[in-house]
Amino acid sequence: MEPRHHVRDISENEFPQAVLQRSREVPVVVDFWAEWCQPCKVLGPLLERAAADAGGAFELVKVDVDQNQTLAGQFGIQSIPTVVAFRDGAPVSQFSGAIPETALASWLDEILPSELDVAVDRGRDAAISGDVTGAEAIFRYVLDQQADHQEAGTSLASLLLSRGDTEEALIVLGKLAPSPEVDRLQAAARVGSARSDDIGELQKRVDAAPDDAAARIRLANALAAHSEFEPALDHLLYIVRTRGEGKEEARKAMLDIFGILGDEHPLTSTYRRQLTSALF
């Protein structure tokens, strides 16, 4: 294998694609170095040999700090060599100095995908190809081995939610560490639990008794479960503004919808401002 296989030198302009985007597919290790740095000349060959031996399990990117001072400053590089590992578009681990080869190997083991991680990737590929049953079996196998495996848990929860198994999805998600994705899926599960409610009947109840907060919240949740988010938010905001029974439940239901839509969605921005105004 070529000594610099899976190794590349990049500039600041290439960093978003070569590191941030690429690390969503495979771990990327960034070596911040300089030509005059003697410890860099010791560590650099070790990193390059490790990248070659790994055969694509990770990619090594080298950044000359003299040529890319802004980038080095962005990541707080105060001494070199400094090595930073990226996964899923974010730094996950780093060290500074020319550490021994055995210590480097141990560090790489921690940031590289485990066998269970690889299994989850196979499960995702199966789901994409249409083999949902096979994907579910893989995710469940991984969770049998490690109940709090983040990627397997969120992947299985997504499958469960797609077929309406909200209760089991919440159980799976409850074993995972908090994260934006876990929060989003939990919100989707809570909202999705109202999918079977009869929107027409609930609308009649609300029309007959506009101040029936319980009926209006159920109607809002049913609408949200069918992706009718704007009318759902209108009903919930109405309850918050009345400041009566159900205000807190309505507030939490609005937050669940914001969680599903995401912070950048126009409805989230609009109704979050209105919710703040109604609360205070």
Average pLDDT over residues 58-63: 95
pLDDT tier, 5 (very low <50, low <70, confident <90, very high otherwise): low
| CA dist., res. 12 & res. 43, Å (int) | 22
The answer to whether the beta carbons of residues 152 and 139 sit under 8 Å apart is yes
* pTM greater than the 0.95 cutoff: no
Cα angle 264, 265, 270; round to 5: 105
| Cα distance between residue 30 and residue 90, in whole Å | 12
Of residues 19, 30, 40, 43, which has the active-site annotation? 40
Task: Give the pLDDT confidence of 149-175 residue by residue, as tens digits.
Answer: 999 999 999 999 988 899 999 999 999
Residue 81: cis peptide before it, omega within 30 degrees of 0: yes
Task: Tell me what the mean pLDDT of segment 68-89 comes to.
Answer: 93
Query: Tell me: the pLDDT tens digits for 222-252?
Result: 999 899 999 999 999 999 998 878 999 999 9
Active site residue 33: no
Structural domains in the chain, sorted by start: 7-111 (3.40.30.10), 115-192 (1.25.40.10), 199-279 (1.25.40.10)
Whether 52 and 5 have beta carbons less than 8 Å apart is answered as yes
180 labelled catalytic: no
Dist CA 179 CA 216 (whole Å): 30
Which position among 30, 37, 160, 182 bears the catalytic label?
37
